[in-house]
Amino acid sequence: MSLLVFDRVWQISMKLKPAVILCQFIALLAIGLPPWPALAADNGISLGVLAFRPQPETQARWQPTADYLAAKIGCPVKLMALDYPQLEAAIARRQVDFVLTNSGHYVLMTERNGLSSPLATLIGEENGQPLSQFGGVIVTRAGRTDIASLADLRGKTVATPETGSLGGYQAEAYELTQAGFALPGDIKLQVTGMPHDRALAAVLAGRADVAFVRTGLIESLQREGRLTPGRFKIVNRQQVAGFPFLLSTHLYPEWPIAALPQVDARLARRVAAALYTMPPDDPALRLGHYRGWAIPPDYQPVRTVLQALRLPPYDHAPAFTWRDIVEKNRSTVAVAGVGVVLVVLLTIFLELGNRQLRQETKTRQLLLAALGEGIYGVGRAGRCTFVNPAALTMLGFSEAEVLDQDQHALFHHHRPDGQAYPSADCPIRLTLLDGQTRHREEWFYKKDGTGFPIEMTVAAIEKDAVHNGAVVVFHDISERKRLEGELQALATTDSLTGLANRRCFLGQLKQEWERLQRFGEPGAALLMLDIDHFKRVNDDHGHAAGDAELRRFAELVLASLRKTDQAGRLGGEEFAILLPGADGQGALEFAERLRARIAAEEVVYDDRKLRITVSIGVTQLAQADALAEIALRRADEALYQAKANGRNRVESA
């Protein structure tokens, strides 16, 4: 009856929350299920453990746990401490029944050998603190001044115990790819073999510039008296609350334990129950330097790392078919479909007679000519194989000038700002390499050298799982870009003065305040300006004269600004200026120069000369300001003081 109870509880628990699962395991422990020798093999079971430290140490560390399991499940448990090649061979030959290995290696072994879902996840321990995650550490010798950040690792020799190690290579390599590295080409990789200690030794001996090792190793070596503190410097150091080890990467779930396919499911559940119910004072925990076992978390972050690095089992790109294109890019296929279908049909009908070929060619030419979109095809080398009249009209080339030419060099060679466009970044070339459909905005050049914006879709032509070419569909979006620019200007610019409008300026002020909240330095200054007696100008000379005065005032302000400064019209005759990087004294000096310059100006309108003076309030944008509007109110108070003290002056707050 106990067997049936446990089996049913296990099945139900997989659908329940972790807290309920733990309660169930506690209940099972209270029941006191008897040993279950009938589920074990006649000669016992074997547990393979990855030895990232020397194998004798690993054997000694995990033997008490194996003894505990043997006592709980009622059959011998043989412990095998193995390095990567040994463990992978043992799994492939079914020489082990259960495996305890790092997260990345578990994902690989699951794909290759069909391991079960994790039965439990290891909870480590450091100074009495439980740890369910680990990561990688990037170290160099303490005296190296040429290595301070990830960027400095380019071209350096990197020692790693094994590329299959999550903590000793994969976690660190993922950080490098996120920093723009192309691996393994951007570093010189030196595989030292297990244990991880060898990678550190390679750095100390000068054979490598940098080492990738698992978190906790350095602290363990120092605790054992085998490493003097201060010998290494940590690169890309990370601080994570509650994590006690030196760290250079993201954190990932700790090691899982899983069963091989030959293991009876009931025995696997029995092993899991034994691990979950391990008493907190069991000697195996102390001798194994860990706290216990937890419900397995999501191992997707580990798969993400392996996929990003294109490491086994994700080292081969999946097959990409036309069904994938249709399912995932319906709108794109609708645009590019006509040209793609024509090319595919042409390939199919090549095996028919010359009559069919001529008819198909004629049909293709008629349809391409009728399309308003620009369409052209490229072969595997990136040279044009066909082009329709609409594309030729937009580009200004003849068909003879385009066919069999490198499309990138012909009309896709520079970016809008005039910088050279590397062919390696060309979306057409990228699609030829990976078969992915791309939809983006680009910049083409006409035969006369003028450029224009386009919106393009690139789709691969695939035959027998080989990318034979691509079809490009594009259209000119110059008018759309012009309208977008006008709308942007209307939304952000004051039409009378050409300065930023109130909404735009307040947005710039908020961005500068947010920058101060994050970084603190350098500071910034804020000026509020109000044209003196402006209402009198409108009353005495009319609104047209007032508008002329506002425009001239704005011209003087713009002429006084640096490239990084921002000015805006908040409303009426009220303006504001933002001076990033300016301190209080510098802002006052700038305000006084601007005031004097404006006071010396005359606005000539309708043969009349109008004088302009301005009152200015100055304040410092402070990190302590809870909101950007607080600084704005402070500057406004200083402006009010300038008005009260006689106008045509500068005051600060």
Q: How far apart are CA 171 and CA 137, in angstroms?
A: 9
Q: Alpha carbon of 379 to those of 29, 84, 279, 389, 423: distances in Å?
A: 68, 44, 67, 19, 15
Is the pLDDT score of 603 beyond 70? yes
Q: How far apart are CA 595 and CA 592, in angstroms?
A: 5
Q: How far apart are CA 408 and CA 243, in angstroms?
A: 50
Q: How far apart are CA 505 and CA 569, in angstroms?
A: 8
Left, alpha or beta for 318 (phi > 0: left; psi -120 to 50: alpha)? beta
User: What predicted TM-score, i.e. pTM, was given to this entire model?
Assistant: 0.42
Range picked from 79-88, 479-488, 605-614 for highest mean pLDDT = 79-88
Is the pLDDT score of 449 beyond 90? yes
Is the pLDDT score of 272 beyond 70? yes
Lowest mean pLDDT among 181-190, 314-323, 336-345: 314-323
Which band of pLDDT confidence, cut at 50, 70 and 90, is reported for residue 131?
A: confident
336-372 confidence digits (pLDDT tens): 677 767 777 777 777 665 566 566 655 555 555 556 7
DSSP-assigned states of every residue in 305-371? HHHHHT-TTS-SPPP--HHHHHHH-HHHHHHHHHHHHHHHHHHHHTTS-HHHHHHHHHHHHHHHHH-
DSSP-assigned states of every residue in 145-180? SS--SGGGGTT-EEEES-TT-IIIIIHHHHHHHHTT
The confidence score (pLDDT) of residue 43 equals 74
Domain boundaries 35-130+254-309, corresponding CATH code: 3.40.190.10
* 593: nearest Cα among 624, 561, 552: 561
Assess whether the region 35-130+254-309 and the region 493-652 belong to the same CATH fold.
no
CATH 3.40.30.10 fits 133-252, yes or no: no
Better-predicted residue by pLDDT, 329 or 205: 205
Is the pLDDT score of 11 beyond 50? no
Is the pLDDT score of 180 beyond 50? yes
Six token digits for residue 62: 């995990």
Is the pLDDT score of 226 beyond 80? yes
Lowest mean pLDDT among 188-192, 267-271, 323-327, 453-457: 323-327
Q: How many CB atoms lie within 10 A of CB 633?
A: 14
* 410: nearest Cα among 433, 372, 376, 368: 376
The confidence score (pLDDT) of residue 15 equals 42
Better-predicted residue by pLDDT, 305 or 41: 305
The confidence score (pLDDT) of residue 329 equals 65
Q: How far apart are CA 96 and CA 258, in angstroms?
A: 11
Is the pLDDT score of 616 beyond 90? yes
The confidence score (pLDDT) of residue 462 equals 80
Tell me the average pLDDT of the chain.
86
Cis peptide before 229 (omega within 30 of 0): no
The confidence score (pLDDT) of residue 233 equals 96
Which band of pLDDT confidence, cut at 50, 70 and 90, is reported for residue 326?
A: low
Q: How many CB atoms lie within 10 A of CB 504?
A: 18
Is the pLDDT score of 19 beyond 60? no
What does the H/E/C string look like for 446-478? CCCCCEEEEEEEEEEEEECCEEEEEEEEEEECH
Is the pLDDT score of 327 beyond 70? no
The confidence score (pLDDT) of residue 53 equals 85
Better-predicted residue by pLDDT, 388 or 10: 388
Is the pLDDT score of 413 beyond 70? yes
Cis peptide before 184 (omega within 30 of 0): yes
* 135: nearest Cα among 362, 383, 273, 301: 301
Please give the distance of CA 478 from its chain centroid, rounded to a whole number.
32
Cβ burial, residue 379 (10 Å; 0-12/13-18/19+) = middle
Inter-axis angle of helices 502-519 and 628-644, to 10 degrees? 120
Q: Where are the domains of the chain?
A: 35-130+254-309, 133-252, 322-481, 493-652
Better-predicted residue by pLDDT, 419 or 348: 419
309 phi/psi in degrees, rounded to 5: -85, -5
The answer to whether 430 and 442 are in contact (CB under 8 A) is: no
The answer to whether 88 and 289 are in contact (CB under 8 A) is: no
Six token digits for residue 440: 């983006």
Cβ burial, residue 97 (10 Å; 0-12/13-18/19+) = buried
Q: How far apart are CA 631 and CA 584, in angstroms?
A: 13
Percentage of residues in the chain having pLDDT higher than 70: 86
Is the pLDDT score of 41 beyond 70? no
Q: How far apart are CA 576 and CA 500, in angstroms?
A: 10
Lowest mean pLDDT among 352-366, 544-558, 577-591, 600-614: 352-366
Lowest mean pLDDT among 427-431, 452-456, 484-488: 484-488
Is the pLDDT score of 20 beyond 90? no
Active site residues: 573
Is the pLDDT score of 13 beyond 70? no
* 289: nearest Cα among 64, 35, 495: 64
454-463 confidence digits (pLDDT tens): 999 999 988 6
Which band of pLDDT confidence, cut at 50, 70 and 90, is reported for residue 468?
A: confident
Lowest mean pLDDT among 370-374, 520-524, 640-644: 370-374
Is the pLDDT score of 443 beyond 90? yes
Mean pLDDT value across residues 98-106: 93
The confidence score (pLDDT) of residue 10 equals 40
Domain boundaries 322-481, corresponding CATH code: 3.30.450.20
- Homologous superfamily of the 493-652 domain (CATH): Reverse transcriptase/Diguanylate cyclase domain (3.30.70.270)
Work out whether strand 438-445 and strand 451-463 pair parallel, antiparallel, or are unpaired: antiparallel
Range picked from 83-87, 308-312, 605-609 for highest mean pLDDT = 83-87
Q: How many CB atoms lie within 10 A of CB 189?
A: 16
Task: Map residue 547 onto helix, strand or coil.
Answer: helix
368-411 confidence digits (pLDDT tens): 555 678 999 999 899 999 999 999 999 999 999 999 999 999 99
Six token digits for residue 484: 């977008």
The confidence score (pLDDT) of residue 42 equals 53
227-262 confidence digits (pLDDT tens): 999 999 999 999 999 899 999 999 999 999 999 999
Q: How far apart are CA 431 and CA 453, in angstroms?
A: 20
Q: How far apart are CA 373 and CA 368, in angstroms?
A: 9
